[in-house]
């Protein structure tokens, strides 16, 4: 099973990942790190449908995956691409499939 997190937890996890990996981000223990964490916004990335299934309450759960990818030249090591991947989980009732609501996010580390 997986753990659902809210948008703020996702945002902070992505910001901390960027601090560790992105050449353009401040170093994690530097003075600018705290401001970076406070001001970080998730980049717009396309989501791809991965799966759907019935939840325990009869609702339909839809999984959409996306990733933040840093090319090797944009990383601190400069040796390999790095990827931060997560799913967005939406749910809908079988009677109203066009009405979807956000259930949460799943972080893949």
Q: Which domain holds residue 30?
A: 7-108
Each residue's pLDDT tens digit, 40-87: 999 999 999 999 999 888 899 999 999 999 999 999 999 999 999 999
52 vs 62: CA distance, rounded Å: 4
pTM assigned to the model: 0.89
Which residues, 6+ apart, have CB-to-CB distance to 81 below 8 Å? 69, 70, 71, 72, 75
Asked whether the predicted pLDDT for residue 109 surpasses 80, the reply is: no
The answer on pLDDT for 103 being more than 90 is yes
Provide the Cα torsion 90, 96, 97, 99; round to 10°: -50
- What's the whole-number mean pLDDT along residues 15-21? 97
Is 21 a domain residue? yes
Handedness of CA 14, 62, 2, 72 (dihedral sign): negative
In a domain, 1, yes or no: no
Number of domains in the chain: 1
């Amino acid at each position: 099973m997986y753990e659902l997190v809210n948008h703020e937890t996702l945002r902070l996890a992505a910001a901390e990942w960027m601090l560790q990996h992105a050449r353009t981000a401040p170093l994690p223990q530097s003075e600018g790190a705290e401001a970076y964490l406070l001001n970080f916004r998730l980049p717009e990335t396309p989501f791809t449908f991965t799966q759907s299934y019935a939840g325990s309450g009869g609702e339909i759960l839809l999984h959409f995956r996306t990733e933040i990818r840093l090319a090797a030249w944009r990383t601190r090591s400069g040796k390999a691409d790095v990827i931060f991947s997560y799913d967005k989980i939406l749910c809908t009732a079988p009677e109203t499939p066009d009405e979807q609501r956000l259930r949460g996010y799943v972080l893949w580390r």
